[in-house]
A and B are shown apart, each in its own frame.
Chain A
Amino acid sequence: MSTMDYSELFPKIQAKFKFTAGENIVSIYEVVLLEGWVKTSRILSLIENCGSYGFFVFNVFRGSAGISDILIDYAFPVNNEFKIDVVSEDADISVTVTFRKVKLLFEMMTSEKTKSFISELHKISEISAEKENSLDFAWLSKYVNEATYGRSAEDNSQNSEVNGQLEDLPTGSELMVPRHSIARGTTPIAGRESAVRYQMTLKEKDYTYTQSIRIFVGTWNVNGQPPTVSLSDWLSVDPDPPDIYAIGFQELDLSKEAFLFNDSPREEEWLGAVILSLHPKGKYSKVSLVRLVGMMLIVFVREQHVAYIRNVATDTVGTGIMGKLGNKGGVAVRFDIHNTSLCFVNAHLAAHVEEYERRNQDYRDICSRISFPKFLPPKTIKDHDQVYWFGDLNYRITELDAPTVKRLIETNSYDAILVYDQLKQNFKAERVFEKYKEGRILFKPTYKYDTGSDEWDSSEKNRAPAWCDRVLWKGDKIKQICYRSHAELKISDHKPVSALFDSEIRVIDAIKYRKIHEEVMKKLDRLENEFLPQVMVDTTEIIFDKVHFLEAQSKDLIIANTGQVPVQFEFIKKLDDSSYCKDWLHIEPYMGFIMPGEKCDVKLEIYVDKRSACELNSSEDNKLYDILVLHLEGGKDIFITVTGTYVYSCFGMSLDLLSRINVPIREITKAELRNLEKNNDYRQSDPYAIPKEIWFLVDHLYRNGMKQHHLFEQPGLHAEVLLIRDWLDLGVPEHLRILCHC
């Protein structure tokens, strides 16, 4: 693809669409649009007006003198119905842009420019989604009306309610392949790889099934203590072993070394303790371990799942001192299991009773700053099918004094206390953990105990006990089985908490996957074969019956383009031949161009003259025979057989042979001629001095032609030549009354 001269484009777009003051072209980028299997070039542009953005797809037409026209294919408002996703990033980056029912697939070259364009789009679409209600897209409507497809897409969505079949349109997108642009030869068939990938994502439901896996999530603020006890009372209290363990620690190490150098011997110690206490009925492999100062997250998976875990990545974010250091913050592990993406976040949010706003902010910072750069654009926490968020979130109980809280705990009246739980309150006010869920709390507050006991903190602060340690989740098809604390573990001032989930993940059915993959490939192959040039000819056998010397005959051959693409045909040479047909044949036109649905008449003219007669006379039989190769550029070849019977004539015979024949040439058989040629003369042992045909001609001229003006100066009349030919070949001179023009 030619690199776009944006500086040329900018003013042209501006001029054509008369973007008014206030409407700014923010960015502009050339991409490849994939429709079905077809690639075409498009220009994407973001245009801004008073904080609201429009996403434009321009189709730029180019003539010899540069840009000839620009049309708007689509104009989408960038709002919460607008979505951009990166589907793959191999050699090229594939991006889908979704607006309502329209889904477009673009391919972009991997480059810094692309990355920045995509992340800009991302950012804007996120910001726009947030302030949805305040945005005014009225300015866009005039462009939407101009858009070639934008409107019809909306019409479609209405139709589809009436006509269910239309629902299938997106998946059947190969139906909409713009064959014409292929036909023009301007678009190559789309990159197979990305086309296949795209088709496979569309069909995901058809080859995946769901499977439930059990996930154990645990969190414990260990208050800098070493693991001196078994963790079994926390990690393996259930009868069945979980499939995945995600275990988060906070305050693993409170030493200065850990804080300053992020280096801690505790990591190994706790990891060892955890491994010893995993469920004895399961065999586990460590997926990942990530630690930032005192926050550590370890993920294990049962061995049978190891093969299905891919794209493991981790990240850490410090939100502590100066908003950056690792005394507070979050650590995360993400991976795909089968076809589902999971993200586990272990966080330690800001401390102190009154600092809940700070905690909310820490949450937001972790959300925006955790990123997995192995993906492009980097995936963040929200880009996962399932997110499990846990840790010492540090939310406290306010508005209730410690004695009241403790009294209510005695009677297990947790709900009464939770009304004053800061997390519940902020959550309700949608200030934190939007779209997350938390299970019902049926366990005692987990903080703060006197270390080594189950007694509430007896220090003079006398704070109200609180549920600092929590587990939340986000995503569909996640069922929490239990949510509990583990009082048996007393080495810290916090109690560990755990939750069990039965989560549905999508598993690829290998057989179905292969079948669907094969179908997709087959469809692609078929399409490729369909786009081969196809023609029909009315006949492959052109038969001329009697062909006479110097007498032209012609037949038509009709070539009809029955395929999808224009056909360029040409009669081509066969191996070792110097011409595409014999001397006696003439093809008009011998090459040409036929549009789909149209046809071309090719005239085949047969004409034996003195050049070809000689060879024909000496051939085995009287057959005129040629096989023509009708070649379709980029496609198949068709053989056209041309046959005819040559009525042989004295013309083109050797004088020697003629002088040995004493009867008109047509009176002897081809076999006899053969023999004569081989010098087996049996009719006449004594040849004429000159062939009788020459004698006849000279004699005739002598008798009738001497008075003819300009004798030999004018060519003979064609009809007369034919008569003379027959007279010589058949021997009927008496009846000839002809003028002597030869």
Chain B
Amino acid sequence: MSAPPYSYSYIFKYIIIGDMGVGKSCLLHQFTEKKFMSDCPHTIGVEFGTRIIDVCGQKIKLQIWDTAGQERFRAVTRSYYRGAAGALMVYDTTRRTTYNHLSSWLTDTRNLTNPSTVIFLIGNKSDLKDQRDVAYEEAKQFADENGLMFVEASAKTGDNVEEAFVETAKKIFQCIQDGRLDLNATESGVQHKPSQPGRQTLTDQSPKPSCSC
């Protein structure tokens, strides 16, 4: 008997990026567990979460990689961008610096993913209204100028969290249907048949010549 073990038709790989403490892990947790973690330790590495959602009648399995935001890990986390179909770029609406760093995150994303990768900007912690440090309009304008999708969300209340993940998937799905996203490309971040996550190395291409001393 060869029943498919999973009944979904696509796997989308997502990465979540942004400065430390902006709430990336909380967003992931809220999305997968519908719970808020009030004291979430810094992510030292890359966390992994999965959830199946329904998009346009299709079951889609999201494989979400939540990266460490600390600057010192920046070089390492760059390894994880490759092959992402969606990138959730997060800043903290109560800390302007995290917003100011967006252009550098965006540069990384553009350089390290392929052109069809859907980038979704999330202004997190929208529940902390009186601590707002970045105006909605300003971020919206930034998003528009750079062709990003955008919402303000709260990992605490769950507000707009589902939307951000699902809208990203819808956009990716649209790209597949329009033929803008080539499923056969190895780094599309979309798999049509289910498989387990797992790699041997972060560099799945032949190693580039590295400097020797």
Contacts and interface: CB of A to CB of B under 8 A. Distances in A.
Contacts of A713: none
B3 A627 contact: no
Nearest to B42: A540
A114 B8 CA distance: 25
Contact of B49 (A1, A32, A529, A573): A529
Contacts of B100: none
A523 to B, nearest CB: 11
A361 B105 CA distance: 81
A32 B3 contact: yes
Residue among A634, A637, A639 having the largest count of chain B Cβ atoms under 10 Å: A637
Contacts of B1: 1, 3, 30, 32, 108-109
Contacts of A521: 52
The range of chain A's interface size is 35 or more
Chain B binding surface SS class: loop
A539 to B, nearest CB: 10
A192 interface: yes
B30 to A, nearest CB: 12
Nearest to B33: A526
Contacts of B129: none
A252 to B, nearest CB: 44
B207 to A, nearest CB: 6
The range of chain B's interface size is 35 or more
Contact of A639 (B33, B45, B197, B210): B45
Contacts, number: 115
B184 interface: no
Contacts of A192: 6-8, 52, 59
Contacts of A529: 32-33, 49-50
B200 interface: yes
A572 B196 contact: no
Residue among B45, B51, B52, B202 having the largest count of chain A Cβ atoms under 10 Å: B45
Interface in B21-55: 32-34, 44-52
Contact of B7 (A191, A570, A614, A627): A191
A215 B6 CA distance: 43
Contacts of B68: 639
Contacts of A578: 207, 210
Contact of A575 (B46, B73, B78, B200): B78
A1 B196 contact: no
Contacts of A191: 3-7
A522 B197 contact: no
A188 interface: yes
A525 interface: yes
Contacts of A574: 75-76, 79, 202-203
Interface in A408-448: none
Interface in A606-648: 611-612, 614-615, 627, 629-631, 633-639, 641
Given A573-B202, A576-B203, A528 B50 contact: yes
Contacts of B196: 634
Nearest to A625: B72
Contact of B198 (A30, A109, A528, A634): A634
A256 B51 CA distance: 65
A729 interface: no
A189 B49 CA distance: 16
A362 interface: no
B171 to A, nearest CB: 22
B186 interface: no
A574 B196 CA distance: 21
B48 A1 contact: no
Contact of B45 (A3, A92, A637): A637
Interface in B57-71: 59, 68
A91 interface: yes
B201 interface: yes
A636 B33 contact: no
B3 A109 contact: yes
B56 interface: no
B13 to A, nearest CB: 14
Contacts of B48: 532, 635-637
A532 B2 CA distance: 24
A629 B52 contact: no
A637 B176 CA distance: 29
Contacts of B197: 634-635
A576 B44 contact: no
Nearest to B6: A192
A39 interface: yes
A171 to B, nearest CB: 21
Contacts of B203: 573-577
Interface string A302-338: 0000000000000000000000000000000000000
Interface in A153-189: 188-189
Nearest to B203: A575
B107 to A, nearest CB: 16
Given A109-B1, A191-B7, A192-B7, A540 B208 contact: no
Interface in A562-582: 570, 572-578
Interface string A387-420: 0000000000000000000000000000000000
Nearest to B212: A578
Contacts of B73: 627, 639
A469 interface: no
Given A574-B79, A636-B45, A39 B5 contact: yes
B133 to A, nearest CB: 29
Given A528-B50, A577-B210, A629 B202 contact: yes
A193 interface: yes
Given A192-B6, A573-B203, A525 B32 contact: yes
A577 B52 CA distance: 34
Nearest to A111: B1
A345 B78 CA distance: 69
Contacts of B76: 574, 627, 629, 639
A107 interface: yes
Nearest to A630: B45
A612 B1 CA distance: 56
B185 interface: no
Contacts of B199: 572, 631
Nearest to B79: A575
A638 B44 contact: yes
Interface in A43-81: none
22 contacts: A1-B2, A1-B3, A32-B1, A188-B5, A191-B3, A191-B4, A192-B52, A193-B7, A526-B32, A529-B33, A532-B48, A573-B203, A574-B203, A576-B207, A576-B208, A577-B210, A612-B213, A635-B48, A635-B197, A637-B46, A638-B44, A639-B45
The 10 residue pairs across chains A and B that have the minimum distance between CB atoms? A188-B5, A575-B79, A638-B45, A193-B7, A636-B48, A637-B46, A1-B1, A578-B210, A615-B213, A540-B44
Given A39-B5, A529-B32, A636-B47, 20 more contacts: A3-B1, A92-B3, A188-B5, A190-B5, A192-B7, A192-B8, A192-B52, A525-B52, A529-B50, A572-B199, A573-B203, A574-B79, A574-B203, A575-B78, A577-B210, A637-B45, A637-B48, A638-B44, A639-B44, A639-B45
